[in-house]
């Protein structure tokens, strides 16, 4: 992509309304623009990252056996009356009336709708297990939308719903999502810690929030340092096999949010391993049994010919919130430092003097990198080199390839690693080979 033809509205001033670094950097780097409180337009650079995050989420959901579909954003109120949540949900729900005076709502979540889809088609234990997910915009009229995409009103969520015959199999479904989440966040360069979370009136121990530690996080958390060093399950994990060993390993060290915090249990953790910190909730998994299937009549036939309400769980990931969480974890004074898997482009090619002998070298490395499938943002504009460097650092692409008149005298270009700051002078061919 040539920057001269792109749309990257970088802000020079630091926006005053942004209280935290990720929000400031997303606005300055031209990734998002607020259209109304907590409602954002995704500008091209932000949209690219959102798509990369979404892709990773999809790959890991699919790997674990979940099946993707897409439900609408607008839902009929009647479904929510069946579950009893229409009144209970309160002001966070955006309620809408259509021209026929039918009550509708902009979905804050989809338990009711997926239960309705399930009950319309599935009748037998033979069709289980089933896990259906979608990635769709949600609306919650948050009292205090803030921190940019971190707490928006309109936000993108991945939500999966599992259906099983009994508690034991539902627990296995829960384990599959638990492991998929460990892999998902690690691939984005994040350390997201599963922490025991509140199950409310349903009880039991099957609810975890995945939390990224950050001083700007809204949750207060307590953990045993040991959990930070645990291995992430590999790509070859057998999701049809027994995952309880992995779950055991990850749920043994103490880790809880303030609602579930147990001073006595935390007291047993060695003093030098105790961490109390703040964190961002990027995911939440929850087994809730028959909470929706019972009132909504989603029943399946057992092998013995008995009808039972299906056991369910739901599993959310804050896809748009993740951009904020990643930037909170990956930045320096100059800007964002994207982990490679989610970077909007892999390489920023800087032409230090457009209209000079630099053009030819830039054009040729640009063509070769593109041909090799490397995503390049080529700054071909006639602006100052200093401005180009600052913009590239701000938008945080993993590598910068700098072509300048001085280097070219000895036939060399510079490759800079954004994360480490390491610089290397190479021939254009060697630079291309390094970046492929």
Q: Toward ligand ATP, which CB reaches closer, 109 or 391?
A: 109
Q: What's the min distance (Å) between Cβ of 255 and Mg ion?
A: 15
Q: What's the min distance (Å) between Cβ of 133 and Mg ion?
A: 16
Does residue 283 interact with ligand ATP by CB under 6 A? yes
Does residue 140 interact with ligand ATP by CB under 6 A? yes
Does residue 282 interact with ligand ATP by CB under 6 A? yes
Q: Toward ligand ATP, which CB reaches closer, 259 or 424?
A: 259
Q: Choosing among Mg ion, ligand ATP, none, which partner's interface includes residue 282 (Cβ < 5 to 8 Å by kind)?
A: ligand ATP
Q: What's the min distance (Å) between Cβ of 83 and Mg ion?
A: 18
Q: Which of residues 312-331 bind ligand ATP (CB under 6 A)?
A: 316, 318, 320-321
Does residue 157 interact with ligand ATP by CB under 6 A? yes
Would you give the end-to-end CA distance of the chain in angstroms? 16
Does residue 142 interact with ligand ATP by CB under 6 A? yes
Q: What's the min distance (Å) between Cβ of 219 and Mg ion?
A: 7
Q: Choosing among Mg ion, ligand ATP, none, which partner's interface includes residue 318 (Cβ < 5 to 8 Å by kind)?
A: ligand ATP
Select the residue whose beta carbon is closest to ligand ATP and give its number.
318
Q: Which of residues 243-282 bind Mg ion (CB under 5 A)?
A: 281
Rg (CA), the chain: 24
Does residue 287 interact with ligand ATP by CB under 6 A? no
Q: Toward Mg ion, which CB reaches closer, 187 or 284?
A: 284
- Choose the stretch contacting Mg ion; rule: CB under 5 A; options: 178-186, 267-275, 283-291, 342-350: 283-291
Q: Which two tokens stand for residue 381?
A: 């504009």
Does residue 284 interact with Mg ion by CB under 5 A? yes
Does residue 155 interact with ligand ATP by CB under 6 A? yes
The binding track of 96-125 with respect to ligand ATP, each residue x by CB under 6 A or -, is -------------x----------------
List, in order, residues 6 or more apart from 279 with CB less than 8 Å away.
193, 195, 211, 212, 213, 214, 217, 219, 220, 221, 257
* Residue ranges that bind Mg ion, judged by CB under 5 A: 281, 284
* Residue ranges that bind ligand ATP, judged by CB under 6 A: 109, 140, 142, 151-152, 155, 157, 281-284, 316, 318, 320-321
């Amino acid at each position: 992509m040539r920057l001269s033809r792109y749309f990257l509205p970088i802000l020079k001033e630091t926006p005053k309304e942004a209280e935290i670094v990720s929000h400031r950097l997303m606005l300055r780097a031209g990734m998002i623009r607020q259209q109304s409180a907590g409602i954002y337009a995704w500008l091209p650079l932000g949209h690219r990252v959102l798509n990369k995050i979404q892709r990773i989420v999809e790959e890991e959901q699919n790997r674990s056996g979940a099946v993707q579909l897409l439900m609408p954003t607008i839902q009929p109120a009647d479904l929510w009356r069946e579950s009893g949540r229409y009144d209970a949900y309160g002001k966070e729900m955006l309620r809408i009336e259509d021209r026929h005076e039918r009550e509708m709502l902009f979905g804050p979540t989809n338990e009711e709708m997926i239960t309705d889809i399930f009950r319309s088609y599935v009748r037998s234990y033979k069709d289980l297990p089933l896990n259906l997910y979608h990635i769709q915009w949600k609306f919650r009229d948050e009292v205090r939308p803030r921190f940019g995409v971190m707490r928006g009103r309109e936000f993108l969520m991945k939500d999966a719903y599992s259906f099983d015959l009994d508690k034991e199999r539902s627990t296995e479904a829960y384990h599959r999502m638990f492991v998929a989440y460990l892999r998902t966040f690690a691939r984005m360069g994040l350390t997201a810690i599963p922490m025991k979370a509140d199950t409310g009136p349903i009880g039991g121990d099957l609810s975890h929030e995945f939390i990224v530690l950050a001083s700007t996080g809204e949750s207060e958390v307590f953990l045993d340092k040991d959990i930070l060093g645990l291995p992430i399950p590999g790509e070859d994990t057998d999701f049809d096999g027994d995952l309880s060993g992995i779950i055991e390993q990850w749920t043994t060290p103490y880790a809880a949010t303030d609602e579930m915090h147990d001073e006595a249990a935390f007291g047993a953790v060695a003093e030098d391993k105790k961490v109390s910190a703040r964190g961002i909730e990027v995911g939440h998994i929850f087994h809730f049994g028959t909470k929706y299937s019972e009132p909504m009549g989603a029943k399946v036939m057992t092998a013995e010919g008995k009808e039972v309400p299906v056991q369910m769980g739901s599993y959310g990931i804050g896809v748009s919130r993740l951009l904020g969480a990643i930037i909170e974890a990956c930045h320096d004074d100059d800007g964002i430092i994207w982990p490679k898997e989610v970077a909007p482009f892999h390489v920023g090619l800087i032409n230090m003097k457009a209209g000079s002998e630099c053009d030819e070298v830039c054009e040729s490395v640009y063509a070769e990198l593109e041909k090799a499938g490397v995503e390049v943002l080529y700054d071909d504009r006639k602006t100052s080199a200093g401005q180009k460097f600052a913009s590239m650092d701000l938008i945080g692409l993993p590598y910068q390839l700098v072509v300048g008149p001085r280097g070219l005298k000895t036939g060399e270009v510079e490759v800079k690693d954004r994360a480490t700051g390491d610089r290397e002078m190479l021939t254009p061919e060697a630079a291309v080979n390094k970046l492929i």
